[in-house]
Amino acid sequence: MPLIYTPNPYMILFWLLLLLWCASEFFGPGRWRNASVKVQQDRHSTLAIAVGTAGGFVLAFFCPLLFPQCNFFVLIVPGIACVIVGTCWRWYAILTLGSFFTGKVMIARDHRLIQHGPYRYLRHPSYTGILLVIFGFGLMTTNILSAIALTLGMLGGLLYRMQVEEKALQQTFGETYHEYKSRTWKLLPFLF
């Protein structure tokens, strides 16, 4: 029986971390903030992220059963580290945005383009953090294919969200945003 389906201290930690992370995403800073909205431009990107993530989790929970040869117990500790580091990085990015962070793509009346902190190098650092978290949960299942499935599921939704956000910011800030894009990475330094 794969480790993820057997009662053990590591899986208790997996479920506890998953519960805490979900709570932080749902109740975290700015999640339900009612910013003075100029235009809400989400274009169903929140739904795309939810569907991609749900699909990734479904696949991730079947991978240990279907591909037991890919189960490696040693993945638990790096998985825990990814969840913790990714959560801290995401919160750092969210707190840097301050009142401009919302759960959906919105442009506030007094919106400013944030270019300091993690936004000095990355245009979407909170998504870098969330991908690290999701990859970590995949590793904690002890199945490398689970980690890949979870990450790709989330990435699919995030790629669409980033496209929607960048279009909204380009429309709002014009040349300033174009210049910002030219000197920053989208998601991963030196790669993307």
Query: Tell me: the pLDDT tens digits for 90-142?
Result: 999 999 988 777 777 777 777 889 999 999 999 999 999 999 999 998 888 88
Please give the average per-residue pLDDT across 24-45, as a whole number.
63
- Whole-model pTM? 0.83
Residue 188 lies in a domain: no
Give dist(CA 1, CA 4) in Å, integer: 8
User: Which band of pLDDT confidence, cut at 50, 70 and 90, is reported for residue 68?
Assistant: confident
Residue 137 lies in a domain: yes
Over the chain, what is the mean pLDDT?
A: 84
14 has pLDDT over 70: yes
* Among the listed residues 158, 117, 114, 113, the one whose alpha carbon sits nearest the alpha carbon of residue 135: 158
Q: Which two tokens stand for residue 131?
A: 């991908």
175 has pLDDT over 90: yes
Question: How many domains, in total, are found in the chain?
Answer: 1
Residue 191 lies in a domain: no
Contact (Cβ atoms closer than 8 angstroms) between residue 82 and residue 132: yes
| 50-64 pLDDT, tens digit each | 888 888 888 888 887
34 versus 108: the higher-pLDDT residue is: 108
What amino acid is encoded at 89 in this protein?
Answer: W
**For residue 30, what are the domain limits?**
8-182
At residue 107, what are phi and psi to the nearest 5 degrees? Answer: -115, 120
Residue 3 lies in a domain: no
CB neighbour class for 83 (10 Å; exposed up to 12, middle 13-18, buried from 19)? buried
Residue 190 lies in a domain: no
* Residue 36: predicted pLDDT: 55
Please give the average per-residue pLDDT across 149-159, as a whole number.
91
Residue 59 lies in a domain: yes
Give dist(CA 115, CA 38) in Å, integer: 21
Residue 192 lies in a domain: no
192 has pLDDT over 70: no
Residue 139 lies in a domain: yes
At residue 174, what are phi and psi to the nearest 5 degrees? Answer: 55, -125
CATH number at residue 80: 1.20.120.1630
